């Protein structure tokens, strides 16, 4: 059985996968490490991959974690990449209004305020129920603001145009952070937002099992 290395998204951790049934799979959640000053994502990916990722494994990345998976796949041979609510190249990232918001977040908002729970974050992530809002709130409170700001910068400046080999893309048609109109998805989750690993966990879990 292939090892499956799972990368969480920007501002979230492995708790966003807690509703997905991974029973029987060789799941390895990879924790984010502290980025070096002005470190590009390509270099960060190399540090993550070294001594942590075995060749011919499966990479599973959510959101920013998917972008990291793409960069790691350029460094070591992998069996496949499963992208969830993510982007394969810079062309699948949003432009216009959302990118302007990210730029403002990076430049204007103090780091200590970036990860405070708020109604805007709830809307962008597509959380609706009280448990979902509480989970997102708890995760944001535990997120390092310095890492959050660094990651926003790397998303804005991501230059990858190479389509990853053996990639499978799962995306929600209600994703407000990475709108599906920019994405070529292999599986579309009806009603799925950016928090769909929580809200649509059963459906996503079933798809994952057909892929691994």
Compute the half-sphere exposure of residue 14: CA atoms within 13 Å on the CB side of its CA. Answer: 11
Confidence of residue 98 (pLDDT cuts 50, 70, 90): low
Contact 66, 45 (CB under 8 A): no
Structural domain span for residue 107: 4-211
Give residue 120's pLDDT: 65
pLDDT at 175: 92
Average pLDDT over residues 88-110: 66
Say what the pLDDT of residue 57 is: 96
Q: How far apart are CA 108 and CA 57, in angstroms?
A: 40
Q: Average pLDDT over the chain, rounded to whole?
A: 86
Q: What is the mean pLDDT of residues 85-92?
A: 95
Number of domains in the chain: 1
Count other Cβ atoms within 10 Å, centred on residue 162. Answer: 12
pTM for this entry:
0.88
- 140-157 CB burial, b ≥16 within 10 A, e <16: beebbbebbbbbbbbbee
2-39 pLDDT, tens digit each? 899 999 987 678 889 999 999 999 999 999 999 999 99
Q: Is 183 exposed, middle or buried (CB count within 10 Å of its CB: 0-12, 13-18, 19+)?
A: buried
Comparing 54-58, 87-91, 128-132, the range with the smallest average pLDDT is 128-132
Q: Contact 127/194 with Cβ under 8 angstroms?
A: no
Q: Which of 13-17, 92-96, 128-132 has the highest mean pLDDT?
A: 13-17
Q: What percent of the chain has pLDDT over 70?
A: 86
Supply the pLDDT for residue 52: 87
- What CATH number is given to the structural domain containing 182? 3.40.50.1820
């Amino acid at each position: 059985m292939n090892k499956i290395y799972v990368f969480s998204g920007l501002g979230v951790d492995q708790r966003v996968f807690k509703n997905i049934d991974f029973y029987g799979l060789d799941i390895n959640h990879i924790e984010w490490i502290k980025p070096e000053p002005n470190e590009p994502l390509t270099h960060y990916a190399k540090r993550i991959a070294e001594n942590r990722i075995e060749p011919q494994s499966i990479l599973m990345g959510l959101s920013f974690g998917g972008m990291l998976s793409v960069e790691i796949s350029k460094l070591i041979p992998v069996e496949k990449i499963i992208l969830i609510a993510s982007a394969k190249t810079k062309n699948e990232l949003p432009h216009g209004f959302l990118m302007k918001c990210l730029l403002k977040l990076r430049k204007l908002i103090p780091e200590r305020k970036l990860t405070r729970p708020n109604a805007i974050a709830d809307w962008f992530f597509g959380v609706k129920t009280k448990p979902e809002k509480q989970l997102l709130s708890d995760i944001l409170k535990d997120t390092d603001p310095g890492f959050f700001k660094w990651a926003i910068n790397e998303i804005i400046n991501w230059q990858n145009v190479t389509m990853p080999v053996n990639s499978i893309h799962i995306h929600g048609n209600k994703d407000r952070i990475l709108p599906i109109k920019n994405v070529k998805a292999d599986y579309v989750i009806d009603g799925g937002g950016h928090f769909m690993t929580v809200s649509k966990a059963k459906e996503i879990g079933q798809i994952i099992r057909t892929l691994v």
